[in-house]
Chains A and B, each alone.
Chain A
Amino acid sequence: MNKSADTSQPFILFELDHTTYGIPSDMVQQMEMVEQITPVPNSPSFVVGVVFSRGQVIPAIDLRVRFGFGKIAYTLRSRLIVINTNERTVGLIVDTAREFVSIPAQTIQPSPEGISSLSGKYLAGIATLGERVILILNVSELLVLPELVSERSP
């Protein structure tokens, strides 16, 4: 594989609140329906609980909560995206997820300085595919542990 500027990377797209986000598909282990989440007491507010995935117990993170959006009831379209990075396996709960696209590297811009909101810091960049705007997630930022002190229950 050549490493020239016009390589495309495959991404999995999902939606939160009608906004489309992208995650590199090599991080994605599998996608599942949302069911049977066991709550874990005293865990961070965005950790809905734990699920079993391939023999491993992993946390299920509600991305809406993580980004500061309101939590909604899960529907048949909600998905749990199981991602694998840096020895951690984690499940992300999203509104819907069903697209695979290849995003050429040159269509991705770094996220503008102006975005200072909570969800802004989880962005690695913004891609434009024609008319579509896709927010590229910064996964490692997502998985950073909250400080003991700053964690407040909502």
Chain B
Amino acid sequence: MSSPTESNNFFNEFLDDYFAECEEHLAVVRRELLALESCMNQPQIEGSILNELFRSFHSIKGLSAMVGVREAEKLAHQMESYLRSLRDGQISLKPEGFDALMSGTQILERAIGAYRTKEDPPDIDEIISQLEACNPPVVAKTPTAAITPFEVKLKPEEKKRLEALVSEGKQIWHFVFTPSTELSKQGIGVNAIREQLQAIGELIYVSPRLNANQKILFDFILATQEAENHDLGSELKYLTGEPYQIPSPVSEANSGSSNLKVEPPREPEAPATAEAPGEVEAIGTVVNRTESERKESEERTETAPAPAEVLETSEAETSNNISPAKSTSPLISGSNLVRVDLPKLDELMRMVGELVITRARLEENLKNLPPSFPAARRRTLQEINLTLERQLRDLRQGVMQVRLVPIAEIFARMQFVVRDLMRLTGKQVALEISGAETEIDKFVVERMMDPLLHLVRNAVSHGIELTEERLKAGKSAMGAIALRASTAGEMVIIEIEDDGQGVDIYRVLKRAKQQGLLSDSVSETNDPDNYDSQTILDLLCSSGFSTKEEADLASGRGVGMAIVKNTVQELGGCVKFTTKKGKGSHFIIDLPLTLAITDALIVEVSGQTFAIPESSIQEVLSVEHKGIIRLEDQEIISYRGHVFPLRYLARLFNCVVTTDESEKLTIVVIGNSVNSTGLVVNRILGLREIVVRPLTDPFLQSPGIAGATELGDGRVVLILDVSTLISSKIPKIIKPQQFINSG
């Protein structure tokens, strides 16, 4: 059939799918546990929650059994039993039970992770006893002896080949191999067996399946020269096997046992647990299984004695009966979902981005057609261009939608983190979550997981005070941390707010001076009010900055905040921060909903081209110099009743200011109705759709620059970071710039 490397790849892909599937089920578990916690105190727990949890653990159990991750299998089995009892109303959910579910989920996650990283699995005995304690004693049911036979389902080509071989006088055998840990320790695995078999004949068919006891085995159909071996059973002593007869077409509909003899290996130990028909999970590889499943449920035979030895460690199966739940087959989803690799989606996005640039170039060229070009034709072309723009926009929307996932993924994990920390620190914290259904780009979710975890840990470790302190301060004993997510136009806003002790600005300043992060000339006064929260945030985020409190185990060593800021910036977003000593801290993270494409105003400043995101622009003005009012060291302008300060981009960016006193000033007003700034530029070049590319390299972190784009000529154009430019004070860490007026 296939070479050893191909089957290796097959198994590795098998494993990748295993980890991916388990992660999906665990994500469901976390989400449902979140919901469960909130309705724990109600008399009636919603049945769907318990059912979802039960099904997820059931699936994880089956998957882990297939692959051989014993700890995960056992633990998932215990969780599943507990949930069945809850679901069937046999017991009610108590706080200890919920705790056990939470811990169990974490340990389960670790057990699966340990298999992946080839580390020792965590100890599960304690959690198993915890769960057993929550579950009522189970009545052992006497197992029936029903072991249904298994019919190998061959593809038409395989059958043809077999028939051809038979007519050539070859012998056909059906072997069954049951892998076990003992055997694999001796180096005897499915690949070794396959090689052995290939050495003596032609392998027509190989496939894994689950037997009645949820154990994985492999079926081999082999063709050999008749003369060679007459007693294969003893040569290949780890297999059970026997002659195989190709089923004739008629008999497939209704095979009697005369056609096929199949030997599931007998368990050397305790009797098999009873399985009601129709329960065996499908193994979704190679051949479709549904028909064999159906057949298994229809037929029954007694077990024939296994001819050869089968070495196998059996596990002490609990005698809990597994009720016929509707479990989805692991590797082939029964539902309408498709699992897609994120890189494929990234590639799609990239291709859409290129289309956008190309269309923009088309538009430019259309605009530059000579006037002699026939007007009707020009109109047609322009109309086509507009249609193209609309269609591209729809395509872009579509691809974006595909990438969106609810932020609940991240929020659900926070529960666990908070609980752990509560135990570690002895503090009492209530986590309040809202907007979990807010959808954000999957890529953003992946990147923001760690920063958000860090902020939440920070809030618990440094924000919320110990209970006695809180009571002394007149606060409630239970600290509160709020996690909120919402969308506002093209942005997603994530907030983390705590009612703890806030950040001690004085300490931060002191520490910053100690570490040399504030040069002396800048810190004229020690007055904390001189520094706005944004500056403090910048200080906290400088890599290497840490007050004594930062460097404790719960939060890490002064690296965390820097990563938060960098990640958010890389994603094209920004972090805002307010804190009040004694009252608490509030982090607001703005992230763009669309990573890639936006409309921007292209401007020229002192010979350089820049892009300003259109969504932040209020309007564009042309103003005489005499309309400018000087106020101390600021220039402001009054327009239509609003007053706002002017910012010379040239100055900010260390370019020479080339505006002329005699000319009018071109001003781009950015911000919102509350907070505006007028940016002085030389010229407006136009409005363009641009593809935003992040500036990820640490060398390129420049305040006021949010990213880069390309307008079709291969040259990089920088995109301005409007939020930095709006803030009323330029952070004092940056030295004031010199400027030269020409003209």
A residues in contact (CB < 8 Å) with B: 36, 38-44, 47, 49-52, 55-59, 61, 88-90, 143, 145, 148-149
Find out whether the CB atom of A88 lies under 8 angstroms from the CB atom of B700: no
Query: Which chain A residues lie closer than 8 Å to B655 at the CB level?
Result: 41
Of B542, B654, B707, B708, which is within 8 A of A42 by CB?
Answer: B654
B142 at the A interface (CB under 8 A): no
In B531-554, the 8 Å CB interface with A consists of: 542-543
Question: Most B CB atoms within 10 A — which of A36, A39, A41?
Answer: A41
Since A38-B608, A57-B708, A88-B697 are in contact, a sample of 12 more A-B pairs with Cβ atoms closer than 8 Å, ordered by chain A residue number, is A38-B718, A41-B655, A41-B705, A43-B699, A43-B702, A50-B718, A52-B716, A55-B350, A55-B693, A59-B697, A61-B699, A145-B699
Q: Which of A36, A50, A89 contacts B695 (CB 8 A)?
A: A50
Q: Does B23 contact A (CB under 8 A)?
A: no
Q: Are A41 and B516 in contact (CB under 8 A)?
A: no
- Nearest-neighbour CB distance to chain B for A32, whole angstroms, equals 11
A49 partner residues in chain B, CB cutoff 8 A:
716
Q: How far is the CA of A55 from the CA of B357 in the complex (A)?
A: 13
Q: List 19 A-B contacts (CB under 8 A).
A: A36-B716, A38-B718, A40-B705, A41-B702, A41-B704, A42-B653, A42-B704, A47-B700, A52-B714, A52-B715, A57-B693, A57-B708, A58-B697, A59-B697, A89-B697, A143-B699, A145-B698, A148-B517, A149-B517
| Least CB separation from A56: chain B residue | B693
Residues of chain B within 8 A of A55, CB atoms compared:
350, 693
Q: Which residues of B contact A88 (CB under 8 A)?
A: 697-698
Q: Tell me the bound Cα distance from A46 to B221 in angstroms.
A: 68
| B652:A41 contact, CB within 8 angstroms | yes
Q: In the complex, which residues of chain A have a beta carbon less than 8 angstroms from the beta carbon of B699? A: 43-44, 47, 59, 61, 90, 143, 145
Interface residues of B in 116-134 (CB under 8 A from A): none
Instruction: Answer whether residue B717 sits at the interface, using C-beta atoms and an 8 A cutoff.
Output: yes
Query: What 0/1 pattern do residues 506 to 541 of B give for CB contact below 8 A with A?
Result: 000000000011010000000000000000000000
Who on chain A is nearest to B695 by CB? A57
Interface string of B726-743 (1 = CB under 8 A from A): 000000011000000000
Contact B716 A43 (CB under 8 A): no
> Which B residue sits closest to A38, measured CB to CB?
B716
Q: How far is the CA of A110 from the CA of B703 in the complex (A)?
A: 39
The interface residues of chain A lying within 8 Å CB-to-CB of B705 are 40-41
Q: Compute how far the CA of A111 lies from the CA of B495 in the bound complex, rounded to whole angstroms.
A: 52
Closest chain A residue to B703 by CB distance?
Answer: A42
Expressed in whole angstroms, the minimum distance between the Cβ of A58 and any Cβ of chain B is 6
Residue of A nearest to B517 (CB): A148
Shortest CB-to-CB span from A74 to chain B, Å, is 16
Within 8 A of A (CB), among B686-721: 693-695, 697-700, 702-705, 707-708, 710, 714-718
Residues of A within 8 A of B654 (CB): 41-42
Among residues of A, the one whose C-beta sits closest to the C-beta of B609 is A38
Least CB separation from B354: chain A residue? A55
Interface residues of B in 604-639 (CB under 8 A from A): 608
CB distance from A59 to the nearest CB of B (A): 4
B708 touches A38 (CB 8 A): yes
- With a cutoff of 8 Å between Cβ atoms, the chain B residues found around residue A89 in the complex are 697
CB distance from A96 to the nearest CB of B (A): 23
| Contact indicator A52/B703 (Cβ below 8 Å) | no
Question: Chain A residues with Cβ under 8 A from B714's Cβ?
Answer: 36, 52
**Whole-angstrom distance between the alpha carbons of A149 and B734 in the complex?**
10
How far, in angstroms, from A39 to B653 measured CA to CA in the complex? Answer: 10
Most buried by A among B608, B653, B697, B703: B697
6 closest A-B pairs (Cβ-Cβ)? A41-B653, A38-B716, A57-B708, A59-B699, A42-B702, A36-B715
Kindly list chain B residues whose C-beta atoms are within 8 Å of the C-beta of A149: 516-517, 519
Contact in complex: B608, A148 (CB < 8 Å): no
For the complex, give the distance between the alpha carbons of A39 and B697 in Å.
Answer: 14
With A38-B708, A43-B699 given, is the CB distance from A51 to B716 under 8 Å? yes
Instruction: Establish whether residues A40 and B718, one from each chain, have CB atoms under 8 Å apart when the complex forms.
Output: yes
Q: Enumerate chain A residues within 8 angstroms of B693, measured Cβ to Cβ.
A: 55-57
Give the most central of B608, B700, B702, B705: most A CB within 10 Å. Answer: B700
If A38-B716, A43-B700 touch, whether A50 touches B708 (CB-CB below 8 Å) is yes
Give min CB distance, A46 to chain B, whole Å. Answer: 9
CB distance from A26 to the nearest CB of B (A): 20
Please give me the residue from chain A that is nearest to B734 by CB atom.
Answer: A42
Q: How far is the CB of A119 from chain B (nearest CB, A)?
A: 19
Known interface pairs A40-B705, A57-B716; A50-B517 also in contact (CB < 8 Å): no
> What CA separation (Å) do A50 and B717 show in the bound complex?
9
A90 to B694, CA, bound (A): 14
In the complex, what distance in Å separates the CA atom of A143 from the CA atom of B699? 8
Chain B residues with CB below 8 A from A148, complex form: 517, 542, 733
Contacts known (A36-B716, A40-B702, A41-B704); A52 close to B695, Cβ less than 8 A: no
| Chain B residues in 8 Å Cβ range of A52 | 710, 714-716
Residues of A within 8 Å of B519, CB to CB, are: 149
- Alpha-carbon distance A88/B171, docked complex (angstroms): 60
Q: How many angstroms between the C-alpha atoms of A56 and B707 in the bound complex?
A: 11
Residues from chain A with a CB closer than 8 A to the CB of B516 are: 149
Q: Which residue of B lies closest to A145 (CB)?
A: B698
Q: Is the CB of A50 within 8 A of B700?
A: yes
Report the minimum CB–CB distance from A130 to chain B (whole Å).
Answer: 37
Which residue of A has the minimal Cβ distance to B699? Answer: A59
Decide: A39 near B608, CB < 8 A? Known: A50-B695, A88-B697: yes
**Cα of A61 to Cα of B699 in the assembled complex, Å:** 9
Contact of B715 among A38, A143, A145 (CB under 8 A): A38
Q: How far is the CA of A39 from the CA of B350 in the complex (A)?
A: 25
Q: Report Cα–Cα, A74/B653, bound state, in Å.
A: 23
Closest Cβ of chain B to A115, distance in Å, is: 25
Which B residues lie within 8 Å of A47 (CB)? 699-700
For A90, what are the chain B residues with a Cβ–Cβ distance below 8 Å? 697, 699
A36 to B652, CA, bound (A): 22
Query: Interface readout for B93-117 with A: 1 if CB under 8 Å, 0 if not?
Result: 0000000000000000000000000
Complex: A22 Cα to B519 Cα, angstroms:
38
Within 8 A of A (CB), among B649-708: 652-655, 693-695, 697-700, 702-705, 707-708
Q: Are A38 and B717 in contact (CB under 8 A)?
A: yes
Contacts of A38 in B (CB 8 A): 608, 708, 715-718
B residues within 8 A CB of A44?
Answer: 699
Kindly provide the distance from the CB of B245 to the nearest chain A CB, expressed in whole angstroms.
52
Contacts of A50 in B (CB 8 A): 695, 700, 708, 716, 718
Q: Chain B CB within 10 Å — which of A43, A51, A89 has the most?
A: A43
Interface 1/0 per residue, B318-356 and A, CB below 8 Å = 000000000000000000000000000000001000000
Q: In the bound complex, what is the Cα–Cα distance between A63 and B110 (angstroms)?
A: 47
